[in-house]
Amino acid sequence: MNRKTLIASTVMAIFYVIIFSSSLQAAEEINLDGMNAEVQTFYKQGRFYEAASIAEKALNAAEAKYGADDPHIIRELDNVGLIYNASGRRAEAIPYYRRSLVLCEKVSGKESERTAEAMTKLGKLFFAEGNYEESEPLLKKALEIYKKELPENNPKVAEALENLGELYFLNGEYKKSEPLFEQSLAISEKTYGKYVQEIEVPLDRLGDLYYFHGKFDDAERIYKQRITLCEKVYAESHPALAAADTKLAELYYAKGKYKEAVPLYKKAIFIYKNSLGRDHPLIASVSLKLADVYKKMGRERDAKAMEDEAAKIRGIKK
DSSP string computed for 155-188 = HHHHHHHHHHHHHHHHTT-HHHHHHHHHHHHHHH
Whole-structure pTM value: 0.77
Over its C-alpha atoms, the chain yields an Rg (Å, rounded) of 28
Domain boundaries of the chain, sorted by first residue:
14-149, 158-233, 238-318
What confidence tens digit (pLDDT) does each residue in 203-213 have?
A: 999 999 999 98
Q: Which CATH superfamily is domain 14-149 in?
A: Tetratricopeptide repeat domain (1.25.40.10)
Alpha helices by DSSP H, 45-129:
48-66, 74-86, 90-108, 113-128
Mean per-residue pLDDT, 292-311 = 96
Q: What percent of the chain shows pLDDT beyond 70?
A: 90
Q: Using the predicted structure, report yes or no on whether residue 23 has a pLDDT greater than 70.
A: no
Q: Using the predicted structure, report yes or no on whether residue 16 has a pLDDT greater than 50.
A: no
pLDDT of residue 31: 84
pLDDT of residue 116: 97
Q: How many CA atoms lie within 13 A of 83 on its CB side?
A: 27
Class of domain 238-318: mainly alpha
Mean per-residue pLDDT, 229-255 = 95
Q: Of 168, 157, 262, 244, nearest to 201 (Cα)?
A: 244
pLDDT of residue 11: 45
Please state which of the ranges 6-10, 133-137, 297-301 shows the lowest mean pLDDT: 6-10
Task: For residue 141, give Cα distances in angstroms to 134, 156, 305.
Answer: 12, 13, 54
State the Cα–Cα distance between residues 254 and 216, nearest whole angstrom.
9
Q: Using the predicted structure, report yes or no on whether residue 2 has a pLDDT greater than 90.
A: no
Mean per-residue pLDDT, 53-59 = 93
State the Cα–Cα distance between residues 181 and 209, nearest whole angstrom.
9
pLDDT of residue 64: 92
Q: What percent of the chain shows pLDDT beyond 90?
A: 78
Q: Are the beta carbons of 217 and 231 closer than 8 angstroms?
A: no
Q: Are the beta carbons of 108 and 124 closer than 8 angstroms?
A: no
More confident residue, 141 or 45: 141
More confident residue, 1 or 54: 54
Classify 231 as helix, strand or coil.
helix
**Confidence at 79, pLDDT banded by 50, 70, 90:** very high
Burial class (CB in 10 A: 0-12, 13-18, 19+), 297: middle
Q: What share of the chain is helix, strand, coil (3-state, %, to 5)?
A: 85, 0, 15
Task: For residue 280, give Cα distances in angstroms to 11, 291, 308.
Answer: 75, 17, 15
Mean per-residue pLDDT, 268-285 = 94
The answer to whether 158-233 and 238-318 have equal CATH topology is: yes
Q: Using the predicted structure, report yes or no on whether residue 12 has a pLDDT greater than 70.
A: no
What confidence tens digit (pLDDT) does each residue in 119-167 have?
A: 999 999 999 999 999 999 999 999 999 999 999 899 999 999 999 999 9
Mean pLDDT of all residues in the chain? Answer: 89
CATH-assigned architecture of domain 158-233: Alpha Horseshoe (1.25)
Please state which of the ranges 78-82, 118-122, 169-173 shows the lowest mean pLDDT: 169-173
Task: For residue 114, give Cα distances in angstroms to 98, 110, 117, 128, 181.
Answer: 14, 9, 5, 22, 23
Classify 45 as helix, strand or coil.
coil
State the Cα–Cα distance between residues 203 and 188, nearest whole angstrom.
10
pLDDT of residue 15: 44
**Confidence at 9, pLDDT banded by 50, 70, 90:** low
**φ/ψ of residue 200, rounded to 5:** -60, -45
Mean per-residue pLDDT, 5-28 = 47
Mean per-residue pLDDT, 90-111 = 95
State the Cα–Cα distance between residues 17 and 32, nearest whole angstrom.
23
Q: Using the predicted structure, report yes or no on whether residue 7 has a pLDDT greater than 80.
A: no
Mean per-residue pLDDT, 267-285 = 94
**Confidence at 32, pLDDT banded by 50, 70, 90:** confident
How many CB atoms are closer than 10 A to CB 181? Answer: 26
Q: Of 247, 245, 251, nearest to 264 (Cα)?
A: 245
